[in-house]
Chains A and B, each alone.
Chain A
């Protein structure tokens, strides 16, 4: 996968969130959305290039072409349009992709660029595009790096509310880990999938082995007491980032204790054939305990 980070700033966090939420909307899975995107964390004014409150977002796609196309489209429709918002590169890389490079033409000839040196003396190009609320400021490019998507684990619990509570607890802990996002709604997936389907046109279909209502009908992975399963999917900039995130999430669930109703943690590994990276939960948790 390829990934990038964009720093979005605005007059206040309220409007930065409006922009970031729009930018990362409909970006849960590369299969249907093109990209997987999410808010990495909130940034204080002294952490952003222009000294305003900001949001850091991460965006991942299966290839550089899709990532570039999706980034440009979302920048144009979600950031350019959002009052007071500005966008800056959030990651250094030799591979640069357009952030405002093509968006500048919206200025219809009134756009202007500025080359401004950062604290390291490196010149970076910014575009100033006149818009109705003043000026839209956007950096010309941002970095693109190799990244990893699809790290996951499953929470098997005795009830739906127990599974959801455990998932929420894990997500809150995992949000503190940098360089990762959990792109699904609230960070949680209830419709985990398996590869293939009885219908020829479907690439993926419901993960019947983990569907509690199909116990007895299929070769179920669930014991009698399991009534609900939630999945957490993680995209990150490196293997270690995702492994750390998984460890933190599982630990948070374990800390809830037996009363949480969680009986088992598993993962979808798709026969080990879906991608080169394998997150072996015992090894990840073993690192934590050593």
Chain B
């Protein structure tokens, strides 16, 4: 089975809410049922086919092709499967995520992983503001640049970065450490074709936070230049 693939028909004048395009909702639906599905669960919602060309059948692996920054809420509340985004995406990528993997080969806008509880989000490009906001647990990796207020109100979870962002006052510097669990985490990244596969060094700068929310979350700054 080939991956269920959504290709936006054209640049939209409006943002498109993709929260229903997840393995959870689309699993066990036929191609015809997916084509007739409304984009939102509202009376005047456009159908999926109004906004996307659809191909493939395997709803456990969803691909968004030729994407742009107006696709919001990709992977919302998903609990299993993999979503691959071959381009940029909008706000709230992986919001309320409960499991599974989201791989974004482009950039993401604000609020990546908002209230995320489990799962993995890897972004090869940049991410906007409030990445990991209100995060409950899980793992977010951003290989490129990141905006402000990273990890705002995060309770637990790991945000993996390659560059130190400007962090807000309630994120605390814990120093530089060698963390054994990163060997397992990096090994798990090898299942996906991303720049994160180059990470080998287990020595990271660790920031804990958000101290306003118990501070059990962490932001780890990886060194991409030094080998293990």
Bound-complex Cα distance A119 to B187 (A): 8
A109 to B101, CA, bound (A): 28
The 6 closest A-B pairs by CB, nearest first: A50-B183, A137-B180, A117-B188, A116-B184, A116-B188, A51-B183
| A contacts with B, residue count (CB < 8 A) | 22
Does B139 interact with chain A (Cβ within 8 Å)? Answer: yes
Q: Which B residues are in CB contact (< 8 Å) with A118?
A: 188
With beta carbons under 8 angstroms apart, the residue of A112, A113, A116 that contacts B185 is A116
Which of A112, A114, A115, A116 contacts B216, CB < 8 Å? Answer: A112
User: Contact residues of B with A, CB < 8 Å?
Assistant: 99, 101, 118, 120, 137-139, 156, 158, 177-181, 183-185, 187-188, 191, 216, 218
Among candidates A49, A52, A112, A117, residue contacting B191 with C-beta atoms closer than 8 Å: A117
Judged by a CB distance under 8 angstroms, whether A5 is at the interface is no
**A271: Cβ under 8 A from any B Cβ:** no
Contact of A126 among B156, B177, B181 (CB under 8 A): B181
Using known A-B contacts A116-B185, A119-B191, determine if residue A50 contacts B180 with beta carbons closer than 8 Å.
yes
16 further A-B pairs in the complex, CB-CB below 8 A; given A86-B180, A115-B138: A49-B183, A50-B180, A50-B183, A51-B187, A113-B137, A114-B139, A114-B184, A115-B118, A116-B185, A116-B188, A126-B181, A128-B181, A134-B178, A135-B181, A137-B180, A137-B184
Q: How far is the CA of A121 from the CA of B188 in the complex (A)?
A: 8
Residue contact B158 to A135, C-beta cutoff 8 Å: no
Closest Cβ of chain B to A24, distance in Å, is 22
Q: Are A121 and B181 neighbours in the complex by a CB distance under 8 Å?
A: no
- Given A112-B156, A112-B216, A121-B191, decide whether A134 and B177 contact each other with a Cβ distance below 8 A: yes
Identify the interface centre among B101, B179, B183: most chain A CB within 10 Å of its CB: B183
Docked complex Cα distance between A115 and B139 (Å): 9
Chain A window 37-73, contacts with chain B (Cβ cutoff 8 Å), 1 for yes, 0 for no: 0000000000001111000000000000000000000
Looking at the assembled complex, report how far the CB atom of B55 sits from the nearest CB atom of chain A, in whole angstroms: 24
Q: List 15 A-B contacts (CB under 8 A).
A: A50-B180, A50-B183, A50-B184, A51-B183, A112-B156, A112-B218, A113-B137, A114-B139, A116-B181, A117-B101, A117-B188, A126-B181, A134-B179, A134-B180, A137-B184
Closest to B101 in A: A117
A contact set with B: CB distance below 8 Å: 49-52, 86, 109-110, 112-119, 121, 123, 126, 128, 134-135, 137
Contact A137 B181 (CB under 8 A): yes
A49 to B178 alpha-carbon distance, docked (Å) = 17
- Select from chain A the residue with minimum beta-carbon distance to B216: A112
Q: Which of B118, B137, B158, B187 has the most CB of A within 10 A?
A: B187
- Cβ-defined partner of B179 (8 Å) among A51, A52, A123, A135: A135
- Taken together as a complex, chains A and B put the C-alpha atoms of A124 and B220 apart, in Å, by 21
Chain A residues within an 8 Å CB radius of B179: 128, 134-135
B80 to chain A, nearest CB (A): 10
Which residue of chain A has the shortest Cβ distance to B174 in the bound complex? A130
A135 and B191 CA atoms in complex are apart in Å by 26
Q: How far is the CA of A128 from the CA of B178 in the complex (A)?
A: 13
Would you give the shortest CB distance from B11 to chain A, in whole angstroms?
Answer: 35
Report the Cα distance A86→B183, complex, angstroms.
Answer: 12
Determine whether the beta carbon of A126 is less than 8 Å from that of B184.
Answer: yes
List the B residue with the shortest CB-CB distance to A85: B180
- B residues near A115, Cβ cutoff 8 Å: 118, 138
A109 — which chain B residues lie within 8 A by C-beta?
Answer: 216
In whole Å, how far is B190's beta carbon from the nearest beta carbon of chain A?
8
B118, A114: Cβ atoms closer than 8 Å: no
Rounded to whole angstroms, the CA-CA distance of A149 and B139 in the bound complex is 43
Residues of A within 8 A of B188 (CB): 116-118
Beta-carbon contact of A135 and B139 below 8 Å:
no
Q: How far is the CB of B189 from chain A (nearest CB, A)?
A: 9
Question: Which residues of the other chain, B, contact A49 by a CB distance below 8 angstroms?
Answer: 183-184, 187
Q: Say which residue of B99, B101, B181, B191 sits within 8 Å of A114 (CB atoms).
A: B181
**Identity of the chain A residue whose Cβ is nearest the Cβ of B82 in the assembled complex:** A121
B135 to chain A, nearest CB (A): 13
Contact residues in A for B120 (Cβ distance below 8 Å): 117
Contact A114 B183 (CB under 8 A): no
Give B204 Cβ to nearest chain A Cβ, in Å. 12
Q: Inside 8 A of A114's CB, which chain B residues have their CB?
A: 139, 158, 181, 184-185
Q: Which residues of A contact B185 (CB under 8 A)?
A: 114, 116
Q: Which residue of B lies closest to A120 (CB)?
A: B191
